[in-house]
Chain A
Amino acid sequence: MTADVSTSLITPEIGKLVLPSYERPAGLHPPLDFDGYRSTALRHPQQPLVLLPHRLTEVTGPLLGDGLITPTDSDLTTQHGGEPQGQRIILTGRVLDSDGRPVPDTLIEIWQTNAAGRYRHAREHHPAPLDPNFDGIGRAITDAGGRYRFVTIQPGSYPWGNHYNAWRPAHIHFSLFGRAFTQRLVTQMYFPGDPLLPLDPIFNSVPDEKARQRLIADFDIELTQPEWALGYHWDIVLRGRDATVFE
């Protein structure tokens, strides 16, 4: 705690400040007001959003690293004394910028239900069994090529009360930081062929069909390990730097 605010401000050593700017993906994310998802009704802002230029606070971000991670964080099947119930899966992919650059050394946090469709959470009342050997939480840091890898259990579907007979398709929640505040992303990964996908308001809140499909992992027989686990591949693409816009 040494620096003196009054003398620390800017300029001489940097001259003109030049910062990257990140692209603004119009129409990519779901609208905040979405009729099919009841909880949006009282929680979406009604005033227009104010454009925030990308300046220092927006082009930087927390670089959360190795100190948070232990080896069992990325293997959700070995966090207890015994094997969890359910279908073992290997889930791997890369975190990339939209300009194709890998995002290395970035924290990924995941959470999910167990094989029976039950979250380990105090406010979860779905009458499906908890699994004493499965918490459904993981963390990983991407490697130099932006790659991550989790070993976990195929999550289940569960009812969620949004409408009559509403069931969420199986999914894994993902939280990512990237390298800038602009790149922060919380999303969900789904599984191919899930019959609940066409019925799910949250999945279908993504307006663009192709973007929606990018939320679905690919089954990968090459990644599948004989006599042990199914393999799925899912890349996550964060906002890239805008090459043309210059403030």
Chain B
Amino acid sequence: MTPSQTVGPYFAMRLPWDEGPFVVPEGTPGAVTIIGRLYDGAGNIIPDGLIETWQAAPDGRFAHPDDPRGATPGGYQSFRGFGRCPTAPDGSYRIVTLKPGPLPTPDGSIEAPHLDVSVFARGLLDRVVTRMYFPDEQTANAADPVLCSIAAQARRATLIAVPEPEGELRFDIRLQGDRETVFFDV
């Protein structure tokens, strides 16, 4: 297998593209906007990171051959499931998407709506992976097998977005430090 190497400081030459942050076009009915900042262990913002998101459609399905249910025919045609946004000079990113549905699992439990999130940056020799959950899904979150696998309540809270006054969802990512985000071995 081929090992990982850092994305380095110059990925912005190639990886960002104009539609990258738009999992659905801006203004799509029901769209949610996720905003946040990326921080290092000293609490400083990281202006040269890349955030990628991957998620189910609002019906909890994936347009992918390894989802045995497949996508709902005619369902979410402008929805790409994938988002990519470089962090700005102030460490911020922004993704416009639809809220995913809950997901079945092989053991019969139900995963709460979530996005898988990858973070790449200079100084990260491999990507780190986290998940973003939704603050208005308290019941589903309480039953989510991944959240339940994290013993400390305070750590679990790092995975749940925070509603902003203007309606966006804030998901800050802290690579290190007191409020370090939970990262996964994927």
Q: B-contacting residues of A (Cβ < 8 Å)?
A: 1-5, 8-11, 13-14, 16-20, 24-25, 28-32, 34, 37, 39-47, 49-64, 68, 98, 109-111, 119-121, 123-124, 135-139, 173, 175, 179-182, 184-188, 202-203, 205-206, 208, 211-212, 214-215, 236-239, 247
For A24, what are the chain B residues with a Cβ–Cβ distance below 8 Å? Answer: 185
Closest chain-B Cβ to A97's Cβ sits at a distance in Å of 9
List of B residues within 8 angstroms of A34 by Cβ: 125
Contact, CB under 8 Å: B126 / A32:
yes
Q: Residues of B contacting A8 with CB < 8 Å?
A: 59-61, 72, 101
Main secondary structure of the interface of A (DSSP, over half): loop
- A241–B44 Cα gap in the complex (Å)? 39
Selected from A25, A52, A180, A187, the residue in CB contact (under 8 A) with B5 is: A187
Q: Which of B15, B75, B106, B176 contacts A247 (CB 8 A)?
A: B106
Q: A2-B75, A10-B60, A49-B183 are in contact. Are A29 and B105 (CB under 8 A)?
A: no
**Which residues of B have CB within 8 Å of A49?**
183-185
Contacts of B68 in A (CB 8 A): 14, 17-19
Known contacts A44-B175, A58-B116, A60-B66: A32-B128 contact under CB 8 Å:
yes
User: Is A43 a contact partner of B183 (Cβ separation < 8 A)?
Assistant: no
CB-CB contacts of B49-91 with A at 8 A, as 1s and 0s?
0001011111111111111110010111000111000000000
Say whether, besides A32-B125, A60-B62, A62-B54, A1 and B28 are in contact (CB < 8 Å). Answer: yes
Give the interface centre of A19, A25, A179 by most chain B CB atoms within 10 Å: A19
Which one of A50, A236, A247 contacts B182 once the chains associate, using CB atoms below 8 Å?
A50
User: How far, in Å, is B186 (CB) from chain A's closest CB?
Assistant: 5
A71 to chain B, nearest CB (A): 17
Chain A residues within 8 Å of B54, by CB = 57, 60-62, 181
Is the pair B76, A42 in contact by a Cβ cutoff of 8 Å? no
Please pick, from A10, A109, A110, A237, the residue contacting B2 in the complex, using a CB distance under 8 A.
Answer: A237
Chain B interface residue count: which class? 35 or more
B165 lies within 8 A of chain A by Cβ: no
The answer to whether A214 touches B13 (Cβ under 8 A) is no
Complex Cα–Cα for A53 and B182 (A): 15
CB distance from B152 to the nearest CB of A (A): 9
A90 to B135, CA, bound (A): 50
Cα–Cα, bound, A212→B13 (Å)? 26
Question: Are B4 and A55 in contact, CB atoms less than 8 angstroms apart?
Answer: no
Does B3 reach chain A (CB closer than 8 Å)?
Answer: yes
Q: Give the residue among A8, A31, A34, A211 with the most B Cβ atoms within 10 A.
A: A8
Q: What is the bound-complex CA distance between A8 and B104, given in angstroms?
A: 11
Nearest neighbor of A201 in chain B, beta-carbon distance: B125
* Cβ-defined partner of A18 (8 Å) among B72, B106, B127, B175: B106
> What are some 13 contacts across the A-B interface (CB < 8 A)?
A1-B76, A8-B59, A8-B101, A44-B176, A58-B116, A58-B186, A60-B62, A68-B17, A98-B1, A137-B14, A175-B7, A181-B186, A188-B5
Partner of A31, one of B81, B110, B125: B125
Q: A41-B123, A57-B56, A63-B63 are in contact. List 16 more A-B contacts (CB 8 A).
A: A17-B68, A18-B68, A18-B106, A43-B122, A45-B175, A47-B183, A53-B146, A57-B116, A59-B66, A111-B15, A123-B48, A137-B13, A181-B54, A188-B5, A215-B2, A239-B1
Q: Report the bound CA distance from A83 to B143 in whole Å.
A: 60
Taken together as a complex, chains A and B put the C-alpha atoms of A98 and B57 apart, in Å, by 29
User: What residues of A have a CB within 8 angstroms of the CB of B66 in the complex?
Assistant: 19-20, 59-60, 179-180
Judging by beta carbons under 8 Å apart, are A236 and B128 in contact? no
Q: Are B1 and A42 in contact (CB under 8 A)?
A: no
Interface set, chain B 80-126, CB cutoff 8 A to A: 80-82, 101-107, 110-111, 114, 116, 118, 120-126
